[in-house]
């Protein structure tokens, strides 16, 4: 188990424990155990392990069980992100004649090939950043690989 400080951002395994005097109850001093960051004394949270790289991160850097660094590695991997997006459709307007000549699956396949062949390292961030939790979960489940 590891923790991340919410103030200085450091990751640590053992919080520092201090007994703080809380008052005088029934003839006895009452203490409360206060745990804090061993570096700066700040509040902290439990870290989560990235399901891909196994590193511990704070909740701000984990999305759907996967760290932002592992997600970032996929931003220019069109094939991987395409696999995740299969079955999700959006509408665009195209030429009326072309719309009568090709069905949507054909149009999709032509455009997919075009992107693969002509747009190396295309940045898929606009799609990825719409829902980082969804992308993280899909990566954790291996849905980027067919
Ligand atoms: Zn700290
Ligand atoms: Zn990771």
Minimum-distance ligand to the CA of 54? 2
Domain count, the chain: 2
Asked if residue 39 belongs to a domain, the reply is yes
pLDDT score, position 23: 86
Same domain? For 107 and 41 the reply is: no
Query: Residue 134 and residue 126: Cα distance in Å, rounded?
Result: 14
pTM: 0.82
pLDDT tens, residue by residue, 74-102: 999 999 999 999 999 999 999 999 999 99
pLDDT tens, residue by residue, 49-59: 999 999 999 99
Domain that holds residue 23: 1-46
Asked if residue 59 belongs to a domain, the reply is no
Spatial contact of 11 and 3, defined as CB atoms under 8 Å apart: yes
Q: Of 39, 4, 33, give the one whose Cα is nearest residue 18.
A: 33
The residues placing their C-beta within 5 Å of ligand 1, an ion, are 5, 7-8, 37, 39-40, 42
Same domain? For 79 and 135 the reply is: yes
Asked if residue 52 belongs to a domain, the reply is no
Asked if residue 79 belongs to a domain, the reply is yes
């Amino acid at each position: 188990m590891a923790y991340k400080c919410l103030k200085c951002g450091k990751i640590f395994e053992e919080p520092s424990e201090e007994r703080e005097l809380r008052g005088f109850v029934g003839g006895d001093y009452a203490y409360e155990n206060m745990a804090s960051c061993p570096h700066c004394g700040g509040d902290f949270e439990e870290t989560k392990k990235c399901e891909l790289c196994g590193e511990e991160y704070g909740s701000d850097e984990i999305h759907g069980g996967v760290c932002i660094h592992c997600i970032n590695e996929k931003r220019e991997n069109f094939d991987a992100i395409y696999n995740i997006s299969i079955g999700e459709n959006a509408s665009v307007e195209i030429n009326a004649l072309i719309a009568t000549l090709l069905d949507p699956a054909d149009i999709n396949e032509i455009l997919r090939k075009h992107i693969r062949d002509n747009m190396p390292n295309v940045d898929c961030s606009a799609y990825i950043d719409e829902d980082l939790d969804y992308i993280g979960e899909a990566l954790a489940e291996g849905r980027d690989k067919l």
